[in-house]
């Protein structure tokens, strides 16, 4: 992960989108042959998942754990003053709301997490939060079905270090479900070709009402 080319490729995949070797090569500014070498290393290390569709190959992060490690490393790098312009930590739109693999990050993600904790919908247990009884009622009233999430192999709630705010936002199955719900409500949409999540004026107002701090 420490190699600059591989780090850039992994960062590009943080949006949760599968990319082809040529797309990743262009992102990293290397030749197709060099990209293939680095992708082979990442796949062999279990950090990437490869899928074939017709003549094309697509790469994505292997799982949520890889996304969580990358986000934590980005947070540590920012805290130590090592920032890559490519990741856009100074971009206001990325700082405001973005996709972190498959859940909401940025100022909006941190606010949601803080609100859920402050209202006792989430309670800390060891290193990760747990959904309380009041939290389950809130989640259900917000239109999220908990039963499918509870039976999934993914953890329901997970704290993820936000690399721009350097505070926690919500990952895990519930984090993904909240982001999907914002899309379904028409509150937000993913900017094409970017990790940025754009909230409409009405969506932002609804979000701020639901997640008061």
Structure tokens belonging to residue 11: 């960062």
CA distance 119 to 140: 16
Question: Which of residues 46, 62, 78 is at a domain's end?
Answer: 62
**Given a cut of 80, is residue 166 above it in pLDDT?**
no
Query: Contacts from 117-120 at CB under 8 Å and sequence distance 24+?
Result: 118/213
Place of tokens 């803080």: 114
Pairing relationship of beta strands 122-125 and 197-199 according to DSSP bridges: unpaired
Q: Which domain holds residue 33?
A: 4-62
Are 124 and 19 found together in one domain?
A: no
Q: What was the pLDDT predicted at 82?
A: 59
Are 100 and 201 found together in one domain?
A: yes
Structure tokens belonging to residue 129: 């939060």
Structure tokens belonging to residue 77: 């790098």
Q: What is the pLDDT of residues 48-104, one digit of tens each?
A: 988 887 788 889 888 878 888 887 887 777 667 655 544 334 568 888 899 988 899
Higher-pLDDT residue of 141, 126: 141
CA distance 103 to 171: 6
Residues 6+ positions from 102 with CB-CB distance below 8 Å: 16, 64, 67, 175, 176, 179
Are 51 and 99 found together in one domain?
A: no
Whole-model pTM? Answer: 0.66
CATH number for 41:
1.10.10.10
Contact 159, 171 (CB under 8 A): yes
């Amino acid at each position: 992960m420490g190699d600059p080319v591989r780090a850039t490729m992994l960062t590009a995949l943080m949006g949760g989108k599968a990319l082809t070797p040529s797309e990743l090569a262009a992102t990293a500014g290397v030749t197709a042959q060099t990209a293939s070498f680095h992708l082979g290393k990442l796949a062999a290390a279990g950090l990437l998942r490869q899928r074939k569709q017709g003549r094309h190959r697509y790469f994505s992060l292997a799982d949520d754990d890889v996304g969580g490690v990358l986000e934590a490393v980005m947070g540590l790098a920012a805290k130590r003053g090592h920032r890559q312009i490519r990741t856009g930590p100074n971009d206001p739109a990325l700082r405001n709301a973005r996709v972190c693999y498959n859940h909401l990050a940025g100022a909006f993600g941190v606010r949601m997490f803080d609100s859920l904790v402050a209202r006792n919908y989430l309670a800390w247990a060891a290193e990760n939060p747990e959904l309380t009884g009041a939290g389950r009622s809130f989640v259900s009233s917000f239109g999220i079905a908990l039963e499918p999430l509870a039976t999934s192999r993914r953890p329901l709630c997970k704290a993820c270090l936000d690399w721009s705010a350097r505070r926690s936002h919500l990952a895990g199955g519930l984090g993904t479900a909240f982001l999907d719900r914002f899309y379904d409500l028409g509150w937000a949409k993913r900017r094409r070709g970017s990790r940025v999540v754009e909230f409409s004026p009405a969506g932002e107002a609804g979000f701020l009402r639901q997640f008061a701090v």
